[in-house]
A and B are shown apart, each in its own frame.
Chain A
Amino acid sequence: MPGLILLKNGRVIDPANGIDQLLDLLIAGGRISAVAQPGSLAEQSGCLVYDLAGKWVVPGLIDMHVHLREPGQEDKETIATGTRAAAAGGFTAVAAMPNTNPVNDNQTVTLFILAKAAEAGFARVYPVGAISRGSKGEHLAEFGELRQAGAVAVTDDGLPVGNSQLMRRALEYAGNHDLLVISHAEELSLSHSGTMNHGALATRLGLGGIPSVAEEIMVYRDLALAEFTRRPIHIAHVSTKESLSLIRRAKEKGVAVTAETAPHYFTLTETAVDGYNTLAKMNPPLRTEADVAAVREALRDGTLDAIATDHAPHSELDKEREFALAANGIIGLETAVPLTLRLVRENQLEARRMVELLSVNPARILGVEGGALSVGAAADVTVIDPEKKFIFSEESIQSKSRNSPFLGWELQGKAVLTIMAGKITWQETL
């Protein structure tokens, strides 16, 4: 039978089914056909067999915040190169932010993205539509048509919604179409003159500062609006300690809020910017030790629901220039697993929790399939070698862009086999 894959002797970590033990997993016809005790499944002819002793077998990872740049900025990334990078990083699905050119504020762009993703075949792509037409912050985009075309959420990521009435209406109206509203929380009047975290380092470098309150004020506003409208909200790329306190308090009150952070916010502080390192320039900016500690704590205690990369490819021209003029953002798909595994190795995060943050919860929050290794489910499976060491180098990068502050880092832990709907999308020597 074609499409038979047997994954033997791996540590299957499947929090949705309460499983964390050595098991064999059989894939047939693009679906998971059996999960059983090691050695108990018969090897059929034509079956691809992998001995995964020492490796983790987890539900396919889902990155709920990436910028694939197509249409419009194909010099930075295309849907094909971006999803290839996703597969190399262990992701079987990504949610694509709408700040393309044209903006994904209509069904035509959504359908184009889905067609390109299907053609490439490296990962599922869940288009995220714009909240407002052209992300201009004025009129609502056509949520109904976006949903029908395949969008799973809406956001004006990168161009935050300044108008509170618009955000309120978006939350209310998204309810008609079962669309998640994602907030990029940033009060522009406080942040627009800054290019890095506000504080002594910004002063020393002569760079304008972005204070934490620029994020926190909008986190609070959007939590208040979610509570008021009784609609769920998802807060993207949370970077500050106080934002996390606000989210924690809202969750205790029963507000339907979920939140994500990115690996750089639990790995780096603002000191990475010193020397005008544009590879550490991002929005929100890298913060302080206290913020990093708070982010790690929130990953453990459930205040944060997901790790998303905010994968933001940029060309060398956009990055190798004056700091104030350089583009914001870094690529992240290919470093998320090793950076999260650092927390696991330091006993700051359990393996089970890592899988929840990178797979179970993103599937639940976006309302998409995946996040579990249940028999009968689509075979989206990621195999991680938690021991594999490698130097993160430009040559190894699958993304079309190279803008990462982790270049040259020795990392440990890597996706070595990625399977999407039963199809192998990435494989390294095991």
Chain B
Amino acid sequence: MDPEYRFSHKHLLGLADFSVTDIQAVLQTAESFKEISSRSIKKVPTLRGKTIINFFFEPSTRTRLSFEVAAKRMSADTFNISNSGSSTVKGETLIDTAKNLAAMNPDCIILRHPCSGAARLLAGHINASVLNAGDGTHEHPSQGLLDLMTVREAKGRIAGLKIAIIGDIAHSRVAHSNIIGFSKMGASVVVSGPATLIPPGVEELGAKVSKTVLKAVEGADVIMALRIQQERQQDPLFPSLREYANFFGVTQKVVAVASPEAIIMHPGPINRGVELDPKLADGSRSVILEQVANGVAVRMALLYLIMGGD
């Protein structure tokens, strides 16, 4: 990396705002932090005295926990505000709550929110750094970064790889951040799923679209299955979970056409037997647990870089 380079982002709102060098810096930092989690005393004093607020407008145990563990390992003080009550689900209090939070003088707010653009909105109303932990169907950049880290760890590189992302691309912020991140880093990304779940202009984010899952996965180095959200079924997106599993599920038959060394990823939680064959999820190709472990390392790196902990 260029010795002159300095990470200069105050916020992490989306991978669309990050350059290749920014992404490399996060991954490099995360790799060096990963070692901390394997020590017997898993704590460094790097962010002592910093205040971090976990501000979650949507229920999400996994992401919240991952951020919390990351913050604690860096010795930061963390507070959790979960706000999934009915009035705030409508989002009526984001700016008001932000003003109240500002009174606590936090250094960083980690925001999960059901509306796209919420992290950017918050960043415009508060002095603290804002870390987007998922906004609507827009981006989930820390997940994108941990997926990049996991692939780089397993494959030794990202450039030149073929990444197949299968499932609900339209409503998946994970898919959006991954398409942007992987294509920025020189991988070729192919998406597939029911046509009802492929958003218009996804090519402009950097993905090719394939009509069939088999074609998408053919020769792929990485297969990523996305969680199907059953609660969206009021919009007639596909006929049934059974048919979904038959035609769009990642199964042994699908994996057979991928590269022999292909790895399998899933952002979790998995609908076993729907988007992913349970044997594959627990099999030797699966890196799903590495994703979880790397999630903590990437989030430690992000907190460190964004709060200028040097």
Q: Which residues of A does B touch, CB under 8 Å?
A: 193, 198-209, 275-276, 320-325
Q: Is the CB of A276 within 8 A of B120?
A: yes
Give the distance to chain A from B111, nearest Cβ to Cβ, in Å: 11
Report how far A193 CA is from B232 CA in the complex, Å: 11
Residue of A whose beta carbon sits closest to that of B173: A206
Residue of A whose beta carbon sits closest to that of B204: A200
Q: Is the CB of B201 within 8 A of A201?
A: yes
Most chain-B Cβ atoms within 10 A of its Cβ — which of A193, A200, A206, A325?
A206
Q: Is the CB of A204 within 8 A of B137?
A: no
Give the distance to chain B from A193, nearest Cβ to Cβ, in Å: 7
Report how far A324 CA is from B138 CA in the complex, Å: 12
Residue of A whose beta carbon sits closest to that of B57: A322
Give the distance to chain A from B178, nearest Cβ to Cβ, in Å: 14
Which of chain B's residues have a CB closer than 8 A to the CB of A200? 200-204
Report how far A202 CA is from B117 CA in the complex, Å: 12
Q: Is the CB of A321 within 8 A of B91?
A: yes
Report how far A204 CA is from B116 CA in the complex, Å: 10
Which of chain B's residues have a CB closer than 8 A to the CB of A275? 120
Report how far A323 CA is from B115 CA in the complex, Å: 7
**Does B235 have its Cβ within 8 Å of any Cβ on chain A?**
yes
Residue of B whose beta carbon sits closest to that of A202: B200
Please pick, from B113, B205, B235, the residue contacting A322 in the complex, using a CB distance under 8 A. B113
- What is the interface residue range for chain B against chain A? 20 to 34
Which of chain B's residues have a CB closer than 8 A to the CB of A202? 199-201
Q: Is the CB of A322 within 8 A of B115?
A: yes
Which of chain B's residues have a CB closer than 8 A to the CB of A208? 137
Please pick, from B121, B135, B200, B235, the residue contacting A203 in the complex, using a CB distance under 8 A. B200
Report how far A207 CA is from B171 CA in the complex, Å: 9
Report how far A198 CA is from B202 CA in the complex, Å: 12
Report how far A201 CA is from B117 CA in the complex, Å: 13
Give the distance to chain B from A196, nearest Cβ to Cβ, in Å: 10
Q: Is the CB of A203 within 8 A of B117?
A: no
Which of chain A's residues have a CB closer than 8 A to the CB of B155? none
Residue of B whose beta carbon sits closest to that of A195: B116
Which of chain A's residues have a CB closer than 8 A to the CB of B135? 206
Q: Is the CB of A207 within 8 A of B201?
A: no
User: Which 9 residue pairs are nearest across A and B when measured between Cβ atoms?
Assistant: A200-B201, A206-B138, A276-B117, A206-B116, A322-B115, A203-B199, A206-B137, A200-B204, A322-B91
Residue of A whose beta carbon sits closest to that of B117: A276
Give the distance to chain B from A275, nearest Cβ to Cβ, in Å: 7
Q: Is the CB of B201 within 8 A of A203?
A: yes
Q: Is the CB of B204 within 8 A of A321?
A: no
Report how far A292 CA is from B176 CA in the complex, Å: 29
Give the distance to chain B from A278, nearest Cβ to Cβ, in Å: 9
Q: Is the CB of B200 within 8 A of A198?
A: yes
Q: Please encode chain B, from 85 to 98, with 1 for each CB lying within 8 Å of some chain A CB and 0 for all others.
A: 00000111011000
**Does B68 have its Cβ within 8 Å of any Cβ on chain A?**
no
Residue of B whose beta carbon sits closest to that of A203: B199
Please pick, from A199, A201, A203, A206, the residue contacting B136 in the complex, using a CB distance under 8 A. A206
Q: Given A206-B176, A276-B120, A325–B115 Cβ distance below 8 Å?
A: yes
Q: Is the CB of B120 within 8 A of A203?
A: no
Q: Is the CB of B200 within 8 A of A324?
A: no
Known: A205-B138, A321-B91. 15 other contacts (CB 8 A): A199-B201, A200-B201, A200-B202, A200-B204, A203-B200, A203-B201, A206-B135, A206-B136, A207-B116, A207-B117, A207-B138, A209-B200, A322-B94, A322-B117, A324-B91
Name B108-123 residues within 8 Å CB distance of A.
113, 115-118, 120-121
Give the distance to chain A from B112, nearest Cβ to Cβ, in Å: 13
Report how far A320 CA is from B203 CA in the complex, Å: 31
Q: Please encode chain B, from 120 to 138, with 1 for each CB lying within 8 Å of some chain A CB and 0 for all others.
A: 1100000000000001111
**Does B221 have its Cβ within 8 Å of any Cβ on chain A?**
no
Residue of B whose beta carbon sits closest to that of A192: B235
Name B197-219 residues within 8 Å CB distance of A.
199-205
Report how far A200 CA is from B91 CA in the complex, Å: 25
Give the distance to chain A from B162, nearest Cβ to Cβ, in Å: 22
Residue of A whose beta carbon sits closest to that of B235: A193
**Does B147 have its Cβ within 8 Å of any Cβ on chain A?**
no
Which of chain B's residues have a CB closer than 8 A to the CB of A209? 200
For this complex, 21 residue pairs linking A to B, each with C-beta atoms less than 8 Å apart, are A193-B235, A200-B201, A202-B199, A202-B201, A203-B200, A203-B204, A205-B117, A205-B138, A206-B116, A206-B137, A206-B139, A207-B138, A276-B121, A320-B95, A321-B91, A321-B94, A322-B115, A322-B117, A323-B115, A323-B116, A324-B115
Report how far A321 CA is from B117 CA in the complex, Å: 10
Residue of A whose beta carbon sits closest to that of B121: A322
Report how far A285 CA is from B170 CA in the complex, Å: 20
Give the distance to chain B from A188, nearest Cβ to Cβ, in Å: 13
Give the distance to chain A from B74, nearest Cβ to Cβ, in Å: 29
**Does B293 have its Cβ within 8 Å of any Cβ on chain A?**
no
Which of chain A's residues have a CB closer than 8 A to the CB of B95? 320-321
Give the distance to chain B from A176, nearest Cβ to Cβ, in Å: 41
**Does B241 have its Cβ within 8 Å of any Cβ on chain A?**
no
Report how far A276 CA is from B120 CA in the complex, Å: 8
Which of chain A's residues have a CB closer than 8 A to the CB of B138? 205-207
